[in-house]
Structure 1
């Protein structure tokens, strides 16, 4: 369980790196837990396209993880596979460490490293 202040910190970090829409998706997942795409759309009130784009960014940056589960169905029906999304709080918090990491790498290698991930 993530505290209210942890959620605020994580959403601030995501907002500053990837924008307000991504932070809204993260806040939704952190506060409500694992959700389907339809649930994220309903709770955030963002368009389907915006949510999908945010999830792509967040999955790519290892802040959200997608996984599939098989739902129970009635006898004789084909199993239904549902994709759910889960926020990775610890990975979001690690985003704070990146500037320090780049500073150390720059000092160790004697390079002027100027890029942001």
Structure 2
């Protein structure tokens, strides 16, 4: 069973997760009005450089989302498919994601 998703807003925190081999499925509506996708990707890239993480991004325009992962710790295709499906489900039912700590506490960790 996949882990309960949560959100990360800080690019430096995201870079730390990527360094650990985690990946992100980012739905573009989370950008809001104050940021665009190229600016967000540049901020993530810069944070990854600070940790010597080679990040890869795949944008899927028709799904309006971007996948980000560590190029040295690539998740397999099934993991990516499951994460994309979960992001689409959360979007469809308008589920609001919580921060990591709240999500982990709710899981009893």
* TM-score, structure 2 normalization: 0.27
Decide which structure has greater helix share: 1
Structure with greater contact order relative to length (CA < 8 Å, sep ≥ 6): 2
* TM-score, structure 1 normalization: 0.26
Q: Which has the larger radius of gyration?
A: 1
